Structures are given as C-alpha cells and as structure tokens.
A = this chain, B = another copy of it.
Amino acid sequence: MVRPGGRSARVQASVHAAVRELMSEVGRDALTVPLVAQHAGVTPSTIYRRWGNLQELLSDVAVERLRPDTAPEAHGTLASDLTAWAEQFLDEMASPAGRAYTRDALLGDPDGSNAGQCSAYAADQINLILSRAAERGEKTPGIETVIDRVVAPLMYRILFRPDRLDAAYARRLVAEVLRPAQPVTS
C-alpha cells in the first residue's frame, strides 16, 4: 500500500524534480540514474526498483509535464472554445519541449499506459468543451470524432509530417469537424 503524501510520494516528487532540474542544467543526454539519484537524495536502487530504467523514469516525468494545468478557456461558443484549445494544443505540442516530452512519453512506455494518459489529457479537455456546449444547447460532435478529426491530424503531423503546421491548419480542422463537409471534388 502506498500512502498518498507518504514516503513513496516524497520519493517520486524529489526524483521528478531532480530530472527536471538536471535536464535544464546538464541536458537530457547527460542524465544517468546515478546522477538523478544523487541529486534527489535517494539511492540508485530506489530508482531502478521503482522505474526499471532511465527511459521509463523519463517517460513518467514527461507525462507529468504534459498534464494540462488549467481547464480550457471559455469563450461562449463551441467553435471558439475548440478553436482556442486546438491552437494552444498545437503550440504546446509542436514546441521543442512538447516534442521532446511526447517522444519521452512514447519511448519508456512498455505497456502503453503513458501514451494512453497523454491521449486522456486531450480527451478530458475536449470533453469539458463539449459538455459546456451541450449545456448551452449547441449541437456537438462526439468526443472520438473530435479526436480523429482534430487531435490525430495535429499529433500525426507533429511526429511524422511537420510541413504546413500552423494555427490556420488547426483552425481549419476545427471548422471542418463542426460543419457538414462538402462532397469530395476531383
């Protein structure tokens, strides 16, 4: 049993803090488990026992850094809320820090739970936006549709196809998921 706020939580907080501080002081490539342990005031075996290896520790730290710290801004309509959220999401995830955290989250993640947590952060924010709109009586697409049509193209292009990634693209994805599409053209 892990007591919240007990030794386990203190170890996690100090190890996470040590990783963040060392990343800005010596850079990511110079990190080692013994260095992090020394900086955090724990033994290396504490880290190995809890996280397995450096990559899994970095993955946990990355997911923590990717957690949104505020609810999405409320602008009064579904279109404006979702547009503002998508622009900010793109800004954050396409930044050098966002890309590095996303890679770390994907990497040291043998069971996929950290990647799933990243997706859940986005889904939670979008769900809140959709719920507010539904309370106002606006028609809304489903959460999985917004993930397919807005989140997925943004993340796919950040990772695999970074051309043409700008706020106008994010706005267009939102506009298209909120309106009936036109027939395909040749």
A contact residues vs B (CB 8 Å cutoff): 103, 106-107, 112, 115-116, 118-119, 134, 138-141, 144, 147-149, 151-153, 155-157, 159-162, 164, 173, 177-186
The CB with the most chain B CB atoms within 10 A, among A106, A112, A139, A160, is that of A160
Give min CB distance, A2 to chain B, whole Å.
26
Interface residue from B134, B155, B161 paired with A160 (Cβ < 8 Å): B155
Q: Which residues of B contact A182 (CB under 8 A)?
A: 180
Give min CB distance, A141 to chain B, whole Å.
5
Q: A103-B106, A144-B164 known; 6 other A-B pairs, CB under 8 Å?
A: A139-B184, A139-B185, A147-B156, A155-B159, A179-B183, A180-B182
Q: Which residues of B contact A148 (CB under 8 A)?
A: 149, 153, 156, 173
Chain B residue, CB-CB nearest to A177? B184
Contact in complex: B180, A116 (CB < 8 Å): no
Bound complex: CA A148 to CA B158 (Å): 12
Contact in complex: A119, B160 (CB < 8 Å): yes
Bound complex: CA A75 to CA B152 (Å): 28
Bound complex: CA A106 to CA B119 (Å): 18
Chain B residue, CB-CB nearest to A115? B160
Bound complex: CA A180 to CA B181 (Å): 6
Contact in complex: B118, A147 (CB < 8 Å): no
Q: Which residues of B contact A164 (CB under 8 A)?
A: 144
Bound complex: CA A156 to CA B157 (Å): 10
Chain B residue, CB-CB nearest to A186? B139
Q: Can you list 15 A-B pairs, Cβ within 8 angstroms, ordered by A?
A: A103-B106, A106-B106, A106-B159, A112-B162, A115-B159, A115-B160, A119-B161, A134-B186, A148-B173, A149-B149, A151-B156, A152-B152, A155-B160, A178-B184, A180-B182
Q: Which residues of B contact A139 (CB under 8 A)?
A: 183-186
